[in-house]
Chains A and B, each alone.
Chain A
Amino acid sequence: MKQRIHRLQLPCEKQDLMDLSVGDSVYLSGVLFTARDAAHQLLLQTPKYEIIFDPDSKGLYLCGPLMKHIGEKWVVISAGPTTSSRMNLFESDFLQKFSQIRLVIGKGDIGDSTKKILKDRGVYLVYTGGTGALAADQISKVLDVFYLEELGMAEAIWVFEVSSFGPLIVASDIKGNSIFTTNGVNTL
């Protein structure tokens, strides 16, 4: 299998993702928001009109970063992906509610219901787990934070601008192919 390398800019449309095949590498630039278990739950419980930011135009990064408040600013210290499968409880409902999200970034396999909803719509990309220091270097700006008081640092929604974020590996492509098959074993 020939592994290709892509550069992708967010926001993106469906046609920008057609060329991304399972196993390809991607370097991503644009705006991501972080969410993990508690943020998924909170955004699902909150009526859309009460949500004070726009998840739809951004990439969803499953991540609970380590941040530091220096002076007036938040600085990213370490920010690798979290285990995606923990979000299986919420992800398909979440992606149904925020129907314009086309990019999910995490680590490890995702649930079948998430794969199904991403088919013909978006892609699932994986970042090397545990490489938080490296990821922090590729986050160029902390644009905002939401629900920090309610959820705490790890669970809050952080909005990051990333630049050449990667290498990400295409784990589910828009055609519905997945790098993870039986028991999470790659059979490519």
Chain B
Amino acid sequence: MDEEHVVSSLVDLIFKAETTLPEDVIQALQQAIDNEKGIARIQLENMVKNARVAQKTGRPICQDTGVQTFFVTLGEDFPYCTRIKPLLIEAVKIATESIPLRPNTFDIFTKEKYTDNIGDHIPAITWDFTRGKTATITAVPKGGGSENMSKLVMLSPGLGLKGIKDFVIREMIKAGGNPCPPTVVGVGVGGGADVAMNLAKLALLRPVGNRHSNQAIAQMEQDLIKRINETGIGPMGLGGITTVLDVHIEHAPRHPASLPVGLVVQCWADRRATMSIDQHGHCVIQ
């Protein structure tokens, strides 16, 4: 495998994620513009205009280029499994200089300010495995403003599905304009505390407009979209009928005693880009 080619492709992947808003998000914003008027419409128009400027100029959509976050799925016969982590780290260092990315990693204990977006456990990498010879990497730069709205609750199971919905709606009302609405909301239900939070973040990978394959979960997603939009928070919290672009729920079975619900919010700049590497090290950005 030509490692230089892989690193430069990973830099391109980060560049794409930082500068090009996915088509499903653009479409959802365009749709929202048609539904809004006044201040709400101005906010949405600015977002779409900004996305165009970013793509045209190759400048990051948002100055908060986020915590570099990757979801990696390795095929069991992909020959370079152990090389992915060091190459990702290398790519983040290079991308920080070349794109550039804002140095976003601080150490609260030593007061050290890292200049390359690298540190213990950062970039954040979530690993999964599948059949086949290919590795798939999705870059999701995660901004601080929306990440700050994340929450975990361990509900009493007796509160049931209504408890889940009430928690999500309550938190989104509390968040108001802070996470840069219209947001994409990821909800993780079940598992344990860690599983629920991981599922909530994983839920953000799903394209906007895409419903869960389980009918009951899809129904709750739709209910939540409707109810959160009815709050009137609107784009940037300035009022309107578009507070979320989508709500995605992922699910794991729960322990009889527990009903964990994780909530992760993504700003309207729902940045994602995916790349695959085949068994010869050939990279294709989707």
Interface contact B145-A129, CB-CB below 8 Å: yes
Known contacts A85-B178, A133-B50; is-contact A25 B42 (Cβ 8 Å) = yes
Counting CB contacts under 8 A, is A95 at the interface? no
Q: Is the CB of A183 within 8 A of B47?
A: no
CB of A107 within 8 A of CB of B180, answer yes
The 6 closest A-B pairs by CB, nearest first: A184-B176, A186-B239, A131-B50, A129-B180, A132-B63, A128-B46
The distance from the CB of B119 to the nearest CB of chain A, in whole angstroms, is 13
A126 to B40, CA, bound (A): 13
Indicate if the CB atoms of A169 and B176 lie closer than 8 Å: no
Count how many chain B residues have C-beta atoms less than 8 Å from C-beta atoms of the other chain: 48
Known A77-B60, A107-B180, A153-B102: A129·B267 in contact at CB below 8 Å: yes
User: Is B103 a contact partner of A152 (Cβ separation < 8 A)?
Assistant: yes
Contact A108 B50 (CB under 8 A): no
* Residue B159 at the chain A interface, CB threshold 8 Å: no
Q: Which residues of A contact B103 (CB under 8 A)?
A: 152-154
| CB <8 Å contact, A109 and B177 | yes
Asked if A185 contacts B176 (CB within 8 A), the reply is yes
Chain B residues near A23 (CB-CB < 8 A): 38-39
Interchain CB contact under 8 A, B102 and A66 = yes
**Contact between B42 and A184 (Cβ–Cβ < 8 Å)?**
no
Tell whether, in the assembled complex, residue B63 and residue A169 are in contact, meaning their CB atoms are under 8 Å apart. no
Cβ of B64 within 8 Å of any chain A Cβ, yes or no, is yes
Expressed in whole angstroms, the Cα–Cα distance for A185 and B115 within the complex equals: 38
Interface on A for B, CB 8 Å cutoff? Answer: 1, 3, 23, 25, 63-66, 68, 77-80, 82-83, 85-86, 107-109, 126, 128-137, 151-154, 167, 169, 171, 179-180, 183-188
Give the distance in Å from the alpha carbon of A132 to the alpha carbon of B115 in the complex.
Answer: 20
A154 B60 Cβ-Cβ under 8 A: no
The reply to whether A80 and B176 form a contact with Cβ atoms under 8 Å apart is no
Task: Tell me the bound Cα distance from A109 to B237 in angstroms.
Answer: 8
Q: Quick check: which of B201-209, B227-235, B249-257 contacts chain A, the rest being far away? A: B227-235
Inter-chain contacts of B232 with A (CB < 8 A):
185-187
Q: Quick check: A186 and B61 within 8 Å, CB to CB?
A: no
In the complex, A180 Cα to B68 Cα: how many Å?
32
Contacts of B54 in A (CB 8 A): 78, 132-133
Task: Say yes or no: A80 contacts B236, CB within 8 Å.
Answer: no
Contacts of A154 in B (CB 8 A): 102-104
The reply on B238 being an interface residue by CB < 8 A is: yes
B49 and A109 within 8 A (CB): no
For A167, give its contact among B42, B231, B240 (CB under 8 Å): B42
